[in-house]
């Protein structure tokens, strides 16, 4: 019991698992769209273009609100913003199981896009980076595998539920998984605190120079080529 408590609250690898679980849910939920496209268009006789437009809108919301998500995570802590994002995404999925019109579909996809932006690497990367120095790349890579696992697991699961119970039930179950399973588990893991006296301090920030949370201001970053290279890269 003591070992479990130590892992949850002081071992930095708990953060990696927590971030991975969040990305598992967001990536799996987002990439399940193709599973729902045909049954939704069939039930409502909507065109594929009109249904696909909701996904495009969610992508636009992500592009607009990602910088805002970063600002909010700096101010209110990444964990709080990520949990809020998961909650919004879960509510959106449950709402999608009840839709009756196209405007409701678009509204809920907008909410989902906003939620999954808040629970994205834009907010979560900081949690991992500030806890690791020597093994930072490994930690970030392992956390990122949550996305791939989510796509591999949740998309087939959604397809199976759609076949057996229908698309409404599939959306409802995805929402319930996020709210009642993903949020409690990831929230517990992301509560991890820094332990300055433990043997793991070699993996945690060694000094201020290695701590990515201590860096140049946003105004100064705007003057660096690397900032614009990375920014343009996300839009190409």
Q: Check residue 197 and give its pLDDT.
A: 40
Which class for 28: exposed (0-12), middle (13-18), buried (19 or more C-beta within 10 A)? buried
Provide the angle, in degrees to the nearest 10, between the axes of the packed helices 13-30 and 121-129: 170
Tokens of 182: 């993903």
For 25, other C-beta atoms within 10 Å of its C-beta total 28
pLDDT per residue over 106-121, tens digit each?
999 999 999 999 999 8
DSSP secondary structure letters along 149-205: HHHHHHHHHHHHHHHHH-HHHHHHHHHHHIIIIIHHHHHHHTT----TTSGGGGTS-
Tokens of 17: 């698992």
- Check if the beta carbon of residue 68 is closer than 8 Å to that of residue 218: no
pTM greater than the 0.85 cutoff: no
DSSP conformation class of 210? G
| Architecture of the domain spanning 2-211 | Up-down Bundle (1.20)
Secondary element (H or E) of residue 97? none
Give CA angle at 111 (107, 113), nearest 5°: 115
pLDDT per residue over 29-55, tens digit each?
999 999 999 999 999 989 999 999 999
Q: Check residue 203 and give its pLDDT.
A: 47
Residue whose token pair is 């509560």: 191
3-state DSSP assignment of residue 131: coil
pLDDT per residue over 172-213, tens digit each?
999 999 999 999 999 999 887 665 444 444 444 444 444 545
- Check if the beta carbon of residue 25 is closer than 8 Å to that of residue 150: yes
Q: Considering the chain, what is the average pLDDT of its residues? A: 86
Q: Check residue 126 and give its pLDDT.
A: 87
Maximum separation of any 2 CA atoms in the chain, in Å = 62
Q: What CA–CA distance (Å, rounded) separates 5 from 11?
A: 9
Tokens of 28: 């799996």
Alpha helices in 12-120 (DSSP H): 13-30, 33-44, 48-76, 78-96, 102-118
DSSP conformation class of 209? G
3-state DSSP assignment of residue 235: coil
For 138, other C-beta atoms within 10 Å of its C-beta total 11
């Amino acid at each position: 019991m003591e070992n479990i408590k130590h892992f949850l609250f002081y071992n930095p690898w708990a953060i990696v698992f927590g971030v991975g679980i969040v990305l598992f849910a967001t990536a799996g939920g987002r990439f399940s769209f193709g599973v729902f496209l045909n049954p939704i268009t069939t039930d409502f006789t909507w065109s594929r273009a009109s249904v696909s437009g909701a996904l495009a809108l969610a992508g636009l919301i992500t592009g607009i609100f990602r910088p805002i998500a970063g600002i909010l995570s700096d101010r209110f802590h990444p964990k709080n913003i990520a949990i809020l994002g998961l909650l919004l995404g879960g509510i959106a999925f449950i709402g999608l199981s009840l839709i009756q019109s196209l405007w409701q579909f678009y509204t809920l996809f907008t909410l989902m896009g906003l939620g999954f932006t808040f629970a994205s690497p834009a907010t979560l990367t900081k949690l991992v980076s500030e806890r690791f120095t020597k093994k930072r790349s490994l930690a970030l890579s392992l956390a990122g595998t949550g996305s791939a696992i989510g796509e591999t697991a949740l998309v087939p699961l959604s397809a199976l539920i759609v076949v057996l119970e229908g698309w409404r039930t599939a959306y409802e179950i995805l929402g319930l998984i996020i709210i009642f399973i993903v949020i409690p588990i990831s929230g517990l893991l992301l509560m991890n605190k820094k332990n300055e006296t433990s043997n793991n301090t070699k993996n945690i920030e060694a000094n201020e120079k290695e701590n990515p949370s201590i860096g140049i201001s946003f105004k100064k970053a705007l003057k660096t080529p690397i900032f614009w290279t990375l920014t343009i890269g996300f839009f190409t």
